[in-house]
Amino acid sequence: MKRFNVVIPRDDDGVEVYPMKKWLRRNPDHLPDGLDPTSSTSHQLRNALRKNGWAMQETPTEVRLLMPSVQWQEGAVEAILGKGSICDMELIPVCPNVLPDGMDTLIHKLGSTWASSEACPRVTENVKYAWNKLLNDWIADDFLPLLIRKSSLVGGSELRHASGRKIIPTDNSPAQWACGLALRGKVPTIAEIHDGFVKDKIPVSFAHKKNEREERRYHCTLGKHGINKAGWKLCHVNPVGQKSRTPLEAVEIKRLKQAFFDLLSPANYFLLPINWGGLGETQEFIDGFLGGEFNFESKA
């Protein structure tokens, strides 16, 4: 049986490969109209993606769909992933798409168990609502910059979007800062957010490189605001990192506003013990967590 994968470019000129159906479930903006990533067949999804401009490569064991609107250099994917003749996996066993012996069910159960556990930290519904209102007010205030997770750019630098909106590339620091406040029941006012930027008090990076100082507009680091020191890993439900090669200044502003909202909204993250944080990256755990007793809604 052939594997159906999507190939996504990275900022460092490498690529990332994901199972097609799982990736489409996590990136519904790329899902062809009228199809469902669970009930539609792989062949239906492949054909629809090709009609939408995705390129296709096929080997004896794999079908690769290459993201459109990317200037793929001829032979670049094969150079990284290999050609069909060396992708037959004759000597290396192929990782199955379906985990054996109910492993996916067990991981799903772990997510559900953690969501209903008293040990799972929770932001109260009132605080969650207040944070979401703050973030929507922030989005509506064109004088405030949007914090966008893009680790390949200089954290704290300031970009000007085509719409005129200021964009600040960050890592996950703003999310940890917001989470720490939300867990303590604190919600800044929009005036305090303005003041935070004026006084450079809003974290934009875990740490800065000295040789990037001249490129930074903001210099505040996470420091005492981090939740890692308390033993927690922050896991987002909807992905928040910008992996497209399209410059942030040219990305649709609506997408950036949603990415900003998802980065900071307590409706879009949960916490795990840091030693177990890798579980929070698996879709099975996330699905189980959302099916537990943890309320979830993330929409700007």
132 with 216, same domain? Answer: yes
93 with 229, same domain? Answer: no
Look at strands 15-19 and 3-9 and give their pairing: antiparallel
Query: How many residues are present in the chain?
Result: 300
| pLDDT, tens only, 30-66 | 888 888 888 888 889 999 998 888 888 887 788 888 8
| pLDDT, tens only, 120-148 | 999 999 999 999 999 999 999 999 999 99
Q: Which domain holds residue 46?
A: 3-97
Helix 125-140 and helix 173-183, axial crossing angle in degrees, nearest 10:
140
Identity (one letter) of the amino acid at 35?
L
146 with 279, same domain? Answer: yes
Half-sphere exposure of 188 (CA within 13 A, CB side): 20
This prediction has a pTM of 0.68
134 with 91, same domain? Answer: no
Nearest C-alpha neighbor of 243 from the set 6, 15, 2, 3: 15
84 with 215, same domain? Answer: no
% of the chain residues with pLDDT over 90:
53
Q: What is the mean pLDDT of the chain?
A: 86
Is 119 part of a structural domain of the chain? Answer: no
87 with 227, same domain? Answer: no
Q: Which secondary structure element, helix H or strand E, spans residue 131, and what is its range?
A: helix 125-140
Angle at 261 between CA 169 and CA 174, to 5 degrees: 45
Total number of domains in the chain: 2
Q: Which two tokens stand for residue 295?
A: 């309320």
| pLDDT, tens only, 57-116 | 887 788 888 887 655 555 555 554 555 443 444 445 666 666 677 888 899 999 999 999
Distance CA 170, CA 205 (A): 6
Is 103 part of a structural domain of the chain? Answer: no
Identity (one letter) of the amino acid at 188?
P
Is 285 part of a structural domain of the chain? Answer: yes
Which residues, 6 or more positions from 31, have their beta carbon under 8 angstroms from its beta carbon? Answer: 24, 37
Is 90 part of a structural domain of the chain? Answer: yes
Question: What's the N-to-C CA distance of the chain in angstroms?
Answer: 41
